[in-house]
Amino acid sequence: MSNLLDLAPVVPVVVLDDAESAVPLARALVAGGLPVIEVTLRTPAALDAIRRIAAEVPEAVVGAGTVRSPGDVEAAAGAGARFLVSPGTTPGLLAAMLAAGVPFLPGVATATEAMTLAERGVRELKFFPAEPAGGVAYLKSLSGPLPDVRFCPTGGITPSNAPAYLALPNVGCVGGSWLTPRSLVAAGDFARIEKLASEAAALRP
């Protein structure tokens, strides 16, 4: 697979309460033009959801988010996750992600954290929580001294602020939960989710 950050401008960050929703949700996102889907490990349904999407929606690139421990890495990879995303990065988690053999976006929020990962050869990172941690201005400031590191900012991204992030040279894509509100997923309104996805797919300036 080409670089994770370059597959789609927006990565939907999904919280799934019911694994039954996983396949229609993934199909709606793919139909809207967003094939990369991050299913967060925040619900008991998450691993089953990843398993179902991996098996039944081959056009989707499904990964696991909210990966916080080596156990999460093992469970996500076992379920078929094609990439891993973490909110922050500990030495133990980094070792497990490096060993997993799938692409991963470890979370960072400072220059020191980004440099620590670059030192290990990891140069595609999640910038989290993007808006509270400094937003567009902060990432722009990092692009000068750290030109070889690229980010997927996530946390507080909206259709309004996404274009400014996507215009930065060190941003490959953004992540966000606005495309898949739990209420729409629970109501089975996948047509509305497809529309939100197609609007998001057009956000790159």
What's the rounded Cα separation, in Å, for the pair 56 and 50? Answer: 10
Nearer to ligand 3PG, 59 or 137 (CB): 137
| Binding-site member from 103, 106, 135, 176 for ligand 3PG (CB under 6 A) | 176
What's the rounded Cα separation, in Å, for the pair 137 and 152? Answer: 15
What's the rounded Cα separation, in Å, for the pair 111 and 13? Answer: 24
195 is a catalytic site residue:
no
Nearer to ligand 3PG, 2 or 160 (CB): 160
Residues 20, 74, 113, 126: which is the catalytic one? 126
| Binding-site member from 5, 10, 11, 13 for ligand 3PG (CB under 6 A) | 13
126 is a catalytic site residue:
yes
| Binding-site member from 69, 143, 161, 177 for ligand 3PG (CB under 6 A) | 177
By CB under 6 A, is residue 32 in contact with ligand 3PG? no
Touching ligand 3PG, residues 34-93 (CB under 6 A):
87
Tokens representing 150?
A: 């690229």
Residues 46, 76: contact at Cβ < 8 Å? no
Residues 113-129, buried b or exposed e (16+ Cβ, 10 A)?
A: bbebbeeeebebbbbbb
What's the rounded Cα separation, in Å, for the pair 191 and 84? Answer: 27
| Binding-site member from 94, 157, 166, 193 for ligand 3PG (CB under 6 A) | 157
By CB under 6 A, is residue 24 in contact with ligand 3PG? no
What's the rounded Cα separation, in Å, for the pair 25 and 11? Answer: 13
- Which residues bind to ligand 3PG, rule: CB under 6 A? 13, 87, 128, 154-157, 175-178
